[in-house]
Amino acid sequence: MAVSLRIPEDVKKRLAKLAQSQDTTAHALMLAAIREKLEAEEARAAFHAEAKRRLARMKRSGHGIPADEVFDYLEQRAKGKSPARPKPRRIA
């Protein structure tokens, strides 16, 4: 698949300068940037898909952990403490 990008002049100049400083090509930098963005967006999509699966499972089972308990637990962990993990229970 052939792709054509219209890049503003100021971006072209910055890209050329960066490529030269890194002893590479503008093309290589653009490919790396596209790959990084794709990986980030794919990871985001996977995260959201997993969150939807877990929410659906929680709704089916009726079990969960209230958010305030989760946040309290994480806050204690962030302070270096070792609190007991909150237990899932039936949520009304």
pLDDT score for 65: 94
pLDDT of 47:
98
Give CB contacts under 8 A, 24+ apart, made by 55-62: 58/91, 62/90, 62/91
Structure confidence at residue 91 as a pLDDT band (50, 70, 90): confident
Give the pLDDT score at 19. Answer: 98
Spatial distance between the Cα atoms of 50 and 47, rounded to a whole number of angstroms: 5
Task: Write out pLDDT tens, residues 3-54.
Answer: 899 999 999 999 999 999 999 999 999 999 999 999 999 999 999 999 999 9
pLDDT at 92 over 80: no
